[in-house]
Every structure is written in C-alpha cells, then in structure tokens.
Amino acid sequence: MTLTPQERMKIPRHPLPAQPPELRVQCFAEVALGYDEQTAREEAMRCLQCKRPYCVDGCPVAIDIPGFLKEIVAGNIDVAAAIIKKTNSLPSICGRVCPQETQCEERCVLAKKGQPVAIGALERFVADYDRRYRLTKPEVTVKASGKKIAVVGSGPAGLTAAGTLAQMGHAVTIFEALHEPGGVLVYGIPEFRLPKEIVREEVSSLLDLGVEFNLNVLVGRTLTIDELFAAGYSAVFLAPGAGVPQFMGIPGENLNGVSSANEFLTRVNLMKAFLFPEYDTPVYCGKHVAVIGGGNTAMDAARTAKRLGPEKVYIVYRRSEKEMPARREEIEHAKEEGIEFMCLTAPVAYHSNSRGWVEEMECIRMELSEPDESGRRRPVPVPNSNFRVPVDTVIVAIGAKTNDLIVKTTGGLTVAKKGYLLVDPETQMTTRPGIFAGGDIAGGEATVIAAMGQGRVAAHSIHRYVLERG
Amino acid sequence: MAKILEKKELAPRTHYLRVHAPVIATHARPGQFVIIRLHEKGERIPLTIADSDSSVGSITLIVQEIGGTTKQIALLRTGDDIRDVLGPLGAPSEIENFGTVVLLGGGFGIAAIHPIAKALRQAGNTIISIVGARTKHLLIMEREMQAVSHEFVVMTDDGSYGRMGLVIEPLREMIEQGRAIHRVVAIGPLPMMRAVAELTRPHGIPTVVSLNPVMVDGTGMCGGCRVTVGEHTKFACVDGPEFDAHLVNFDELAARSRMYREFEELHVCRIEERLQQHEVPQGVAGQ
Ligand SMILES: Cc1cc2nc3c(=O)[nH]c(=O)nc-3n(C[C@H](O)[C@H](O)[C@H](O)COP(=O)(O)OP(=O)(O)OC[C@H]3O[C@@H](n4cnc5c(N)ncnc54)[C@H](O)[C@@H]3O)c2cc1C
Ligand SMILES: Cc1cc2nc3c(=O)[nH]c(=O)nc-3n(C[C@H](O)[C@H](O)[C@H](O)COP(=O)(O)OP(=O)(O)OC[C@H]3O[C@@H](n4cnc5c(N)ncnc54)[C@H](O)[C@@H]3O)c2cc1C
Ligand code: SF4
Ligand code: SF4
Ligand code: FES
C-alpha cells in the first residue's frame, strides 16, 4: 500500500495509550502502554520519507529515523531494530524517556502543524518487539584485543560505553558504587515510567557480551583511578553522573519531613520502600506534599509521592508552566493524576511544629522579567506577596551538582565550571591522557540520550587510543 | 557477597563480626565506615570499621542491636554471607601528633574510638581513654582499649565496674585540674557527644565527634545524612562523619535521627513476627 504525501498528512497522530489516571495512581505499573503492531504501522505511515530528514538532526545519536519507520511500514521489525541499534544501544529506554518534543519530533516537518510523527513511541514499539521476540542479539564478532578497560559508573553513559567497547573486543569492567547497575535509570526514574525489568535486561545483554560488573565499589575510596591503571587497565571511562542534590539554603530546609528528590526516589525505586515492611527500607510521605522544582526529577517525585496516598501533592515552580524543563508528557501525566501546580511561586522558608517536623511552607509569588543567559525569562519576587501553605512533606528537586570525590583523588583532571570535567568534545578525553569522561559529569544536556551519545563517542576514541599505544 | 569469617557476641545485644572484604581491608583508615545490605530486601546501614587486617583481607564490625536490620545481624552466623558491603566510606580521622589526646567512647562508640586511638598512639600522642557502659557486662573492648592507652578509665552508670558515673566526669576533673589536653575525640550516643562539646567549648579544647545521622547511599547522592556544622550544611557520609564538635547543631541532629522512628518500630514488630514464624529472609541466619 503506497500513499501519497497528501494522504499521509491526513492521518492524525496516534496517541500513545495509557493506563487511566484513577487506576495508575494506585500502583507503580507502567503508565504509558505502547502501540500495538497495527497502530505502529499506521503511525509510521505518516512519515513523508523526507529527502532531507530534519528529524535526524534533532536526535543526539542521529538515528536513521525515516529508515526505521519505513521498515515498520513494510513489517520488517527486525530490520527496523537493527537500524536503530546501529547508533542507539538502549532504544527501549530512550523511546520511553527521551524529551522527543525538543529533539527528533521538534524537527520533524510535520511538527509545524503540531502533529510530528510519534518517533519516540515508534522507537519504543520496535525495541519492545525486539526484546519480546529476541530478534537482534548483540555479539562480539571481532577477536579479543587483549586490552582491559575500566568504566566508572553504570548509568546510560557507562552502559553504552561498556557495550560498545565489548563489541570491539575489549575486556570491560564496570565499577559501580551502588548495589545495582543502571544509575539514574534504577535509582531515579520510577518504575511506572521505566520498568526496571528493562534495565535489568540491558544489563544482562552486557553480561552476555562479557562485560564484568564490579558493584559496591566507590572509585576514589574503595579504589583510586591510579590503582586501576596499576592493575593493568589501559584506559578509564568516567561516567559517575552528577548526583549530588542541591538545596536552596533557606531556613527550615533541614527539618524533618524535608528531603531531596534523590533521597525520596532512591528509597522508593532502588530500595523498594513502597513495599515496606516487606522490604526493610521505609520512606516518609505525609498528607500534604510539596515538590520544589519543574524538571523531570520534580515530576517523578510528585507522581511517586501521589502513589503513596497523600491528600494533596503540589509542584512549586518559580517560573511559569511554559518554562518547565520536564518532558511535556510527564507534565500532562502529572496533571491527569491530580497534582496541583503552583507556578510563579518560590518557597522562602519552612516552619516547624514543636517536634522539629515541617508544618508550613512559606512562599513568595514571582513574576517573569526579561530573558536571562539561558534564554528563559528570569523570575523575580513580588514584594510583600508572602503566603503560607500547610505541608508535612517537602521534596526538593532543584537540580544536582557534581561529586568531587574522583577529581580530588586523581591527579591531572581539570574541572570546568560547576565542577564538570573538562573534556575534548571530539574525543571525550579529559586533560589526563587515557582518562575519558561522558554523561552528566562532563556537563552534557543531562538527558539519557546525550549521556549515551557521549558514551559511544568515548568508546570509539578509547578504542583508537588503546590500539595506537599497542 | 562477603563471607562472615567469625561472629560472636561481645556483650548482650552487641555483636562482633569479622567479614571477608579484602579491598576494603587494604584501604580502610581510622574513622571510616562501610554500608552493608544483608539481603535482596535489606536496608543499607552504616557501620564503623572497627579494625581491619589486610593480611587476611578482613574487616571487623561491632554491631549493637537496636532495630530491624541490626536484629537480623544478630542472627547471622560464621559462614553466612552479607550481600553487599561498600566502603571504606567517609573522610578518615585526622591523625597527627597533637600532644595529649583524650578519647571518650560510649556503647558501640568504643569500637569506633579504638582504631583512632591506635593510630594516634602510633603518631606519638599521649592517649587518655575514658570508656563507659551502662553496666559491667555491657562494656566492650576493654582489653584492646587499655593496650593502646597511657591512661585508662572505665565508667559504668550503675557503678558495677570501674567508677560510677558518666564518661564526661573524669574529663571534667582533668580540665578542672588544669591538665594539658590538646584534643578531645568523643564517639557515642548523641547526648554524650553533646555534653562533651559543651564541656570543652569554654576551654577552647579542639573537640571532634563522629556523627551518625540516618544514611542511605553513603556516596553523597541522597543528602539524607545532612547535618548543620557552623553556617554550612554538610553531608556526613562524604564530608564527615567526624566534625568539629563546637560547630555541630546537635538539636537539629537529634530531631533528624528521630525522623524514621515510628516506621522502625513498626518494622521491628514485623521482624519479630517473622522470627517467631521462623520466616527469616534469604541470606540471613544460615544453617
Ligand atoms: C529523577 C530523574 C528523572 C530523569 N528523567 C529523565 C528523562 O525522562 N529523560 C532524560 O533524557 N533524562 C532524564 N533524567 C536525566 C538522566 O537520567 C541523566 O542525564 C543520565 O542518567 C545521566 O547518565 P550518566 O551515565 O552520566 O550518569 P548516572 O545515570 O547519574 O549514573 C552514574 C552512576 O555512577 C555511579 N557512581 C557515581 N560516582 C561513582 C564512583 N565514584 N565510583 C563508582 N560509581 C560511581 C552512580 O552510583 C550511578 O550509578 C532524569 C534524571 C533524574 C534524576
Ligand atoms: C557513620 C556511622 C557509623 C556507625 N557505626 C556503627 C557501628 O559501628 N555499630 C553500630 O552498632 N551502629 C553503628 N551506626 C549506627 C547504625 O547504622 C544504626 O544502628 C543502624 O542503622 C540501625 O539500623 P536498624 O535497622 O537496626 O535500626 P532501625 O530500625 O533503623 O532504627 C532503630 C532506632 O534507632 C534509630 N536510629 C536509626 N538509625 C540510627 C543511627 N544512624 N544512629 C542513631 N540512631 C539511629 C531510629 O530512629 C530508631 O529509633 C553507625 C551509624 C553511622 C551513620
Ligand atoms: S533516541 Fe531520542 S531523540 Fe533519537 S530518535 Fe529516539 S527518541 Fe528521538
Ligand atoms: S522529518 Fe518527519 S516526516 Fe520527515 S522523515 Fe523525519 S519523521 Fe519522517
Ligand atoms: S547518605 Fe546519602 S548523601 Fe550521605
């Protein structure tokens, strides 16, 4: 069946089916349900197969988007999967968490009419199909290089670099501080948005490639980078993320009931506190929850809190909804789930009861002035507009900083602004030869796909580096 | 997985574990700790490295039974495995030749004080140790502490052994007598550390305490362990656990340590129920 461009453009975009909000707020099962084969095909048919596919420019790893969409239409899901996997080794993850509306889909020619091809949802469809029927299987086809490479951190950057290097024949060991691999994918992003089973499967396919996981190793304390070199590793890829939670430094932030989103999410996701007391780790969630921030982390914290049964959950954000950095889909899902948005509002203090627990949040209203360096309009407080809201739980999700442990214990690394490691953008090599870095530690865009892209680039330059040295 | 090479009860509800962890053993320095997770459903809890032996690759942990996880530890036996052991964590103690150092240890704090005392002694300090327990049979590591001390005082609350009273009393007397004290290190229950801080503050004696806020990851990622020291918020797992006692906000720390109390009580009931039904999670209490 061939359609004319006009006919293709008439097909409306297929919404991604989702669990109804009333049901999903009662459990941690995945919210978005994914396309079936028929819907995927019809959606893929909307693609105009542009000669100059702008969508590809929007994808940080330049997936051949029209290429894989065409294969979906033809029913060759295995070929579609192979095309995607040429540049993206974790497609079932990216199809779920990429901010498509500011990447591939934003550039799609059909976006002008507000109806871009649902590239993310289709990528997810192909990847899930591929996993279910085990169509593609990563293999090591080259002979062993005899080189040992160390990867520090098992988030998307580390996993991607490890997989790529293993397929090039190197012996790769991942050193991870936590007891489970995956980085933010396991401790941050909740189950209802990214089932942990998917991360476990990706990890197991790396095991099949011969990648070794050395968990419970905090590099900089358990072992230093110099010890890794001394133990025979020829190169090191640093991907420890930027995991140190920031606080605002306002009065009452250390009261009981106030925590970082990282702590809250780690207790629930990594430690399974939502199954307490079957699992040993508890999490505190009161009746009135305020989440401070407007990014993905804030949405995840708010929606996770909602599932623990409070009466009210607020998102408190100092700019307007338009400026929120979270993925659009997350914002919509949060609203459907009954989360109340308090925009143009900033907390200035938390007040406690007599037992040291937060009882009230004092806020000030904000208004937007002219755009700042980031291009977003700068929020300024409206004088004398303070007001108080009763809350017993506050989750601070205003961003993260880098951890300086590795820099402090490793000579020759240079940090750029905000503690990010300085790297050559062409090769991801740091200022110390043999040490490469990528992902959030290298000051990327703080997205899964950007971290993966840097992991891939680094893997290729590590490959060249170790071979050149013989 | 880390094998328990040796396990014994030092005193009622106080357990000694020697655990196989070769990499940690070669890197551990006084003042550092590990985070362990017993089994798949376990909580991550911090425990001080009381001793380490790099020749056999073991570390020693001294655990006081207080809640859910520590009660499960009590049930472990030699030969059992601990699923996860991460460390060494935290900044090592400052070890220098200060002159005369008074070390105060209460409860499991004695286990934490011991490696510091040993290192300070090796660095040439004169070591005065004051250790305390509620009653005689709860006192741990007396012999080890005595061996590293030039002067050694035991206190019990009920006078059943040593002198009767709190560990702070002998320190107060030494200060009143005008003895030269160049540094004080206190590790034990919060009220004890706080009392020591108040005692030494007016005399300007540099005083260090090792804080034990609730922790989750131990790597600086969650901020759950944050404490206020002077004007700053610090993360005890990476910036500490030792801090200048005169700058610590003890009120806040005391409130924060209570944050999860109600949950823990529920949890302990559950664990006791589990134990009564002999339904012990996998990896705990081997055969
Ligand atoms: C709650 C939340 C939601 C998000 N949602 C999205 C989303 O929807 N879409 C999106 O694109 N991006 C999202 N992001 C951002 C994205 O997750 C990150 O940009 C990405 O995970 C960065 O990958 P990374 O590999 O650099 O590091 P991380 O994923 O941070 O992983 C780093 C790993 O290194 C380990 N580590 C750190 N230090 C050491 C050390 N010294 N030794 C050993 N191991 C160490 C850590 O334990 C961790 O496992 C979200 C982030 C958060 C926190
Ligand atoms: C750096 C550090 C080193 C430590 N070293 C040791 C050690 O060597 N030996 C040892 O026995 N314990 C040590 N602790 C304390 C130990 O981690 C706690 O006793 C343990 O987490 C309690 O777990 P639980 O599940 O048994 O009790 P829970 O059920 O979690 O708690 C029971 C009760 O104790 C309180 N509590 C919980 N955590 C702490 C804590 N960290 N400090 C004080 N009270 C707490 C709870 O509020 C509750 O009321 C250390 C703590 C830190 C932070
Ligand atoms: S990886 Fe992300 S940006 Fe690239 S095509 Fe897939 S969804 Fe779009
Ligand atoms: S820009 Fe849109 S329509 Fe054109 S090839 Fe890409 S996905 Fe298809
Ligand atoms: S325990 Fe999480 S930051 Fe210290």
Q: Which residues contact residue A46 at a Cβ distance below 8 angstroms, ignoring those fewer than 6 apart?
A: A8, A9, A11, A13, A110, A115, A117
Residues of A in contact with B251 (CB under 8 A): 356
* pLDDT tens-digit readout, B60-103: 999 999 888 999 999 999 999 999 999 999 999 999 999 999 99
For ligand 1, the distance from its centroid to the CA atom of residue A466, given in whole angstroms, is: 27
Instruction: Give me A192's structure tokens.
Output: 């209802």
Local confidence band at A48 (pLDDT 50, 70, 90 cut-offs): very high
Partner-chain contact A263 B216, CB within 8 Å:
yes
C-alpha distances out from residue A80 to A129, B33, B64, B146, Å: 10, 50, 58, 72
Q: Which residues pair with A363 in a beta bridge?
A: A347, A387
CATH code of A5-133, in short, is: 1.10.1060.10
For residue A376, how many other CB atoms are within 10 A of its CB?
15
Dihedral angle of Cα B274, B277, B282, B284, to the nearest 10 degrees: 70
B43 Cα to chain A: minimum distance (Å): 5
Contact in structure between A165 and A149 (CB atoms under 8 Å): yes
The per-residue pLDDT for B264 is 64
Residues of A with CB under 8 A from a CB of B: 177-179, 187, 215-218, 221-223, 243-245, 247, 249, 253-257, 259-260, 262-263, 266-267, 271-272, 276-282, 284, 355-357, 403, 405
Task: Give CA–CA dist A189/A178, Å, rounded.
Answer: 15
Average pLDDT in the A265-275 region? 93
Nearest CB among B223, B238, B252 relative to A262 is that of: B223
Percent of chain B with pLDDT over 70: 91
Is residue A64 helix, strand or coil? coil
The per-residue pLDDT for A1 is 58
Where is average pLDDT lowest: A430-439, B81-90, B103-112? B103-112
pLDDT at residue A66 greater than cutoff 50: yes
Local confidence band at A139 (pLDDT 50, 70, 90 cut-offs): confident
Among candidates B226, B212, B106, B83, which has minimal Cα distance to B155? B106
Contact in structure between A450 and A444 (CB atoms under 8 Å): yes
The helix or strand, by DSSP H or E, that contains position B129, with its residue range, turns out to be strand B126-133
CATH of B2-91+262-276, one of 2.40.50.140, 3.40.50.720, 2.40.30.10, 3.60.15.10: 2.40.30.10
Does B238 contact A at CB distance below 8 Å? yes
Radius of gyration of chain B (CA): 19
Q: Which residues contact residue B267 at a Cβ distance below 8 angstroms, ignoring those fewer than 6 apart?
A: A276, A277, A280, A282, B67, B68
The per-residue pLDDT for B108 is 83
User: Bigger pLDDT: B176 or B269?
Assistant: B176
The per-residue pLDDT for B269 is 63
Write down the number of H helices and E strands in chain B. 9, 17
Amino acid at A218: L
Alpha helices in A88-193 (DSSP H): 91-97, 104-107, 119-133, 156-167, 184-187
Q: Which residues pair with B103 in a beta bridge?
A: B129, B185
- Range A148-243+402-468 has CATH code 3.50.50.60: yes
Q: Choosing among A281, A285, A352, A358, which should be mutated to test the B contact, i.e. which has the most B CBs within 10 A?
A: A281
Best residue among A89, A103, A184 to mutate for probing ligand 1's pocket (most ligand atoms within 8 Å of CB) is A184
User: Bigger pLDDT: A363 or B262?
Assistant: A363
Query: Domain locations in chain B?
Result: 2-91+262-276, 100-210
Nearest CB among B43, B86, B219 relative to A271 is that of: B43
User: Bigger pLDDT: A373 or A88?
Assistant: A88
* pLDDT tens-digit readout, A287-335: 999 999 999 999 999 999 999 999 999 999 999 998 899 988 899 999 9
For residue B64, how many other CB atoms are within 10 A of its CB?
20
B76 Cα to chain A: minimum distance (Å): 17
Average pLDDT in the B17-35 region? 96
Classified by CATH at the fold level, domain B100-210 comes out as: Rossmann fold (3.40.50)
pLDDT at residue A21 greater than cutoff 80: yes
pLDDT at residue A38 greater than cutoff 90: yes
Local confidence band at A347 (pLDDT 50, 70, 90 cut-offs): very high
Percent of chain A with pLDDT over 90: 79
Q: Which residues contact residue A209 at a Cβ distance below 8 angstroms, ignoring those fewer than 6 apart?
A: A138, A139, A140, A163, A166, A167
pLDDT at residue A456 greater than cutoff 60: yes
Contact in structure between A283 and A310 (CB atoms under 8 Å): no
Contact in structure between A136 and A175 (CB atoms under 8 Å): no
B72 Cα to chain A: minimum distance (Å): 11
Quote the distance between the C-alpha of residue A81 and its chain's center: 21
Classified by CATH at the fold level, domain A245-400 comes out as: FAD/NAD(P)-binding domain (3.50.50)
Residues of chain A with CATH 1.10.1060.10: 5-133
Local confidence band at B285 (pLDDT 50, 70, 90 cut-offs): very low
Nearest CA in chain B to A263: B222
Ligand closest in space to the Cα of B258: 2
The per-residue pLDDT for B271 is 59
The per-residue pLDDT for B279 is 45
Ligand closest in space to the Cα of B190: 2
The pLDDT mean for chain A works out to: 93
Where is average pLDDT lowest: A409-413, B156-160, B184-188, B270-274? B270-274
Sheet holding B207-210, edge to edge: B163-164, B151-156, B126-133, B100-106, B183-187, B207-210, B242-244
Contact in structure between B52 and B28 (CB atoms under 8 Å): yes
Does B274 contact A at CB distance below 8 Å? no
User: B2-91+262-276 and B100-210 share one CATH topology?
Assistant: no
Nearest CB among B42, B87, B258 relative to A222 is that of: B87
Contact in structure between A160 and A89 (CB atoms under 8 Å): yes
A284 Cα to chain B: minimum distance (Å): 8
Nearest CB among B238, B255, B264 relative to A405 is that of: B238
Dihedral angle of Cα A451, A453, A455, A458, to the nearest 10 degrees: -130
- Residue position matching structure tokens 């420019």: A57
